[in-house]
Amino acid sequence: GENVEQHPSTLSVQEGDSAVIKCTYSDSASNYFPWYKQELGKRPQLIIDIRSNVGEKKDQRIAVTLNKTAKHFSLHITETQPEDSAVYFCAAYGGGSYIPTFGRGTSLIVHP
């Protein structure tokens, strides 16, 4: 089955800095890669996603890049703000699967 590795587990940055979270996956047939933001005690919320036919996608301060050859995808947050502090999860949907495999999560802390 699919295996997703996420790094780092904790990321601490100063307000205004950029933050990058990386995930690797094992199934070369995986074709959909969403990213979720989860605040303490709340449900995960989809913040951005990318499909395997696209290399990069951007939405304001958030971007995701995908390298299919290397089987890794990354979340980029620019101009971080304290409200960006949360746990971020990557996920990958294997080819033909409707059940995602989640990464272990990255706790992002943005210091004012």
Partner 1 sequence: GAVVSQHPSWVICKSGTSVKIECRSLDFQATTMFWYRQFPKQSLMLMATSNEGSKATYEQGVEKDKFLINHASLTLSTLTVTSAHPEDSSFYICRAAEGPYNEQFFGPGTRLTVL
| Residue 109 lies near partner 1 (rule: CB under 8 A) | no
| Residue 89 lies near partner 1 (rule: CB under 8 A) | yes
| Residue 83 lies near partner 1 (rule: CB under 8 A) | no
Binding span for partner 1 by CB under 8 A among 19-27, 56-64, 76-84, 97-105: 97-105
Residues in the chain: 112
Residue closest to 48 by CA, chosen among 86, 40, 37, 39: 37
84 vs 73, 78, 91, CA distance in Å? 20, 10, 19
Question: Alpha-carbon distance 26 to 76, whole Å?
Answer: 21
| Residue 73 lies near partner 1 (rule: CB under 8 A) | no
| Residue 41 lies near partner 1 (rule: CB under 8 A) | yes
Residues that bind partner 1 (CB under 8 A): 41-45, 89, 98-99, 102-105, 107
